[in-house]
Amino acid sequence: MGAAFVVQFLVTFFWMPESAFDRVGAIDIDTGEQSVVVEKVKKIEAEHVEDSTSTASPATEAKKSYLRELLPYSGYWAKVSFWRTFLQPFAMMASPVVLWATILFTTCISWLVLISVTLSQIFSAPPYNFSVAAVGASNLSSFVATLIATGLAGPIIDGCIQFMSKRNKGVFEPEFRLPIMMSYLLFTVTGFFAWGESLYREDPWPIPIIVGMGFINFGVQLGTTGVVAYVSDSHRTMAAEAFAAMNFIKNMFAFGMTFYINDWIATQGVRQCFFVIGGITIGVVLLTVPMYIFGKRARSFTYRHKLIRRLVE
């Protein structure tokens, strides 16, 4: 790990410029009123209005030399106060979209933490008696499933929104990202039930590891992609602040979970523990239904009443 961090530090230092950058408005090509051609067949007028404070042009930006880009700090670019920057991620919780996304995102990622901190407890004991190396190698199932889901998530979501936009007379809505959450419900819940039942029955290791872990990670990756895409579409200019709040709450939840999950399994057994987690996942994913129905109204209410802005000004 130490050697890997040394390599990462060198790569970051020499090939990753300082990330504090004043983004110009010229790249926001979907803001304002403009004509949009859908498959060269139908021409519609699309309006996407957001707050934008930058008016600089890329042509006026001075080119920095390579040595200048190596500097670890190049000034403070933001034009808002420190305290507003600090409070803005927490203020994003006033948005129903971010609140919904936080619940889904927290469960998606925390369930993976739950699996990782219980692998040794489950497979080092009889009847599996895995070695330390074998316990670590069991994560290969998670890696393969996540890799496959990463490649499929984009085309699935894009295909879904194209199909739904056509049926909506060529108008795209962020809520068209949400049907992908049904795959999270299908695969992850099935994976948890298979995981708990197979471990309870002491089935051969390929069943819990390949089937159970594979389904869990496959569904989690699809669900996470859907959550991130929906938040990005709903809060374009505030997406960074929304993700900061989501990650903070997710990390606190996952950290707290490590204090009791092993005792829970030791006390009640893997079957009951993971069946309960599967049930929680069902309840959480079903929150997507009211978000799909009322999401547009929630976004409109948040914008019209400027809920987030009032909390930080």
269 part of a folded domain:
yes
205 part of a folded domain:
yes
**What is the model's pLDDT at position 43?**
43
52 part of a folded domain:
no
Q: What is the pLDDT of residues 108-120, one digit of tens each?
A: 889 989 999 999 9
* Residue in this structure with the two tokens 């490649």, named with its chain if needed: 151
**What is the model's pLDDT at position 50?**
46
Distance CA 310, CA 94 (A): 10
Work out the average pLDDT over 156-166: 92
Structure tokens at 199: 């471990």
**What is the model's pLDDT at position 87?**
85
Of 69-78, 156-165, 243-252, 263-272, the one with minimum mean pLDDT is: 69-78
The amino acid at 7: V
Total domains, the chain: 1
- DSSP calls for 63-118: PPPHHHHT-S-------S-HHHHHHHHHHGGGSHHHHHHHHHHHHHHHHHHHHHHH
Higher pLDDT, 201 or 63: 201
Higher pLDDT, 73 or 5: 5
Q: What is the DSSP letter of 149?
A: H
Distance CA 150, CA 138 (A): 20
**What is the model's pLDDT at position 312?**
62
Work out the average pLDDT over 264-268: 93
**What is the model's pLDDT at position 51?**
47
- CATH for 186: 1.20.1250.20
**What is the model's pLDDT at position 104?**
94
Work out the average pLDDT over 184-207: 94
Of 11-20, 218-227, 287-296, the one with minimum mean pLDDT is: 11-20
Q: What is the pLDDT of residues 60-115, one digit of tens each?
A: 567 778 888 787 776 666 667 778 888 888 889 889 999 999 999 998 889 989 99
**What is the model's pLDDT at position 53?**
46
Rounded to the nearest 5°, which phi and psi values hold at 70?
Answer: -75, -15
- The answer on pLDDT for 299 being more than 80 is yes
- The answer on pLDDT for 279 being more than 60 is yes
Work out the average pLDDT over 213-221: 95
Give the contacts of 168 (CB within 8 A, at least 6 positions apart). Answer: 176
Contact between 196 and 274 under an 8 Å Cβ cutoff? The reply is yes
**What is the model's pLDDT at position 202?**
93
Distance CA 222, CA 233 (A): 17
Distance CA 261, CA 170 (A): 47
99 part of a folded domain:
yes
Other beta carbons within 10 angstroms of residue 207's beta carbon come to: 15
The amino acid at 40: K
Residue-range definition of the domain harbouring residue 272 = 94-312
**What is the model's pLDDT at position 300?**
87
In 3D, which of 116, 147, 120 has the Cα closest to residue 133? 120
Q: What is the pLDDT of residues 50-59, one digit of tens each?
A: 444 444 455 5
290 part of a folded domain:
yes
**What is the model's pLDDT at position 144?**
95
**What is the model's pLDDT at position 63?**
77
Confidence category of residue 24, pLDDT binned at 50, 70, 90? low
Other beta carbons within 10 angstroms of residue 218's beta carbon come to: 28
In 3D, which of 133, 139, 102 has the Cα closest to residue 118? 139
- Mean of the per-residue pLDDT values for the chain? 85
Residue 290: half-sphere exposure toward Cβ, Cα within 13 Å = 10
27 part of a folded domain:
no
Q: Indicate the pTM of the whole model.
A: 0.78
Q: Quick check: bond before 127 cis, omega within 30?
A: yes
* Residue in this structure with the two tokens 């393969």, named with its chain if needed: 144
Work out the average pLDDT over 198-216: 95
**What is the model's pLDDT at position 65?**
82
Confidence category of residue 19, pLDDT binned at 50, 70, 90? low
Confidence category of residue 48, pLDDT binned at 50, 70, 90? very low
37 part of a folded domain:
no
**What is the model's pLDDT at position 264?**
93
15 part of a folded domain:
no
Contact between 14 and 70 under an 8 Å Cβ cutoff? The reply is yes
Distance CA 190, CA 216 (A): 8
